Amino acid sequence: MTVDHRPRKRFGQNFLRDHRIIEAILTAADLHPADAVLEIGPGQGALTERLLERVDRLQLMEIDRDLAAYWQQRATDQLQVHVGDALRLDWPALLTRPPYKLVANLPYNISSQVLFKMLAHRQLFSCFVLMFQKEVADRLRAAPATAAYGALSVLFQQAFAIRSVVQVPPSAFIPAPKVWSEVLHFTPWAQPQVVVADEVFFHRVVKAAFAQRRKTLRNCLQAAGFAPAAIDRVANETGIDAQRRGETLNLSEFAVLGQALAPYAPAN
């Protein structure tokens, strides 16, 4: 049974109601009784109730105090409820018995921020099955030299194996959003396809390369503080032409570029 609650736009609430989509999410998560699951934004509970049928440990993060109060009344040894903004809650302090599976119809207004939270704490999880606006999903899975390819594509493909689960029409939600959505499945790489020695610096280089999309690597890196002489030296060492644009580089090339630029990192 789900809770009766009027969706609140300020929390990005679009409640999932399509049982076919819910079933696809559950199948993709490959749930077993011993699994521990985190759900962000349980809302009215259409997905939550099905999770409770399948796993022995479920933790919820809910910012809407009315909904949180309902779920707190349902709290048991099986169900824990954390009231607050998932972006501000301390995940390592709350998720103390990993690995977890993060399974959620994410509120649209925080989905991009949640991505970077899960990237930072991926060691706590065995997989993620998450709903995104289709535009975000396209960016996450995009190939080089395509319109959707960007920093998000590079950073998340370096960290995760990503696959599509199901595309979701607006009619699957109440209220219906104006855009299609897509469920994606993420698995942290056990052995990364591309090894990155300094992940923080790698992220810095990738974001710099896409900061001015129509500009060359040379211009983007100079704007980020790298010296022209260092850029030329790295281009000669790696064979990566500094006149190329960031969107033409594949994941391996970005890893090579990041490693070669590391000795020339400008001060923050």
Give the count of beta carbons closer than 10 Å to the beta carbon of residue 233.
15
DSSP calls for 44-72? T-HHHHHHHTT-SEEEEEE--HHHHHHHH
Find the farthest-apart pair of alpha carbons in the chain and give their distance in angstroms, rounded.
65
Query: Which two three-digit tokens encode residue 123?
Result: 């060691």
Residue with tokens 């919820």: 60
Sign for the pseudo-dihedral over CA of 80, 84, 86, 88: negative
Close Cβ partners of 45 (under 8 Å, ≥ 6 residues apart): 1, 2, 3, 71
SS3 116: helix
Report whether 16 belongs to an annotated binding site.
yes
249 and 241 Cβ atoms separated by less than 8 Å: no
DSSP calls for 13-48? --EE--HHHHHHHHHHHT--TT-EEEEE--TT-HHH
SS3 136: helix
Q: How is residue 150 annotated by DSSP? A: S
Report whether 236 belongs to an annotated binding site.
no
d(CA 200, CA 190): 19
36 and 57 Cβ atoms separated by less than 8 Å: yes
Report whether 237 belongs to an annotated binding site.
no
Report whether 105 belongs to an annotated binding site.
yes
Binding site: which residues? 14, 16, 41, 62, 85, 105
Binding site for S-adenosyl-L-methionine: which residues? 14, 16, 41, 62, 85, 105
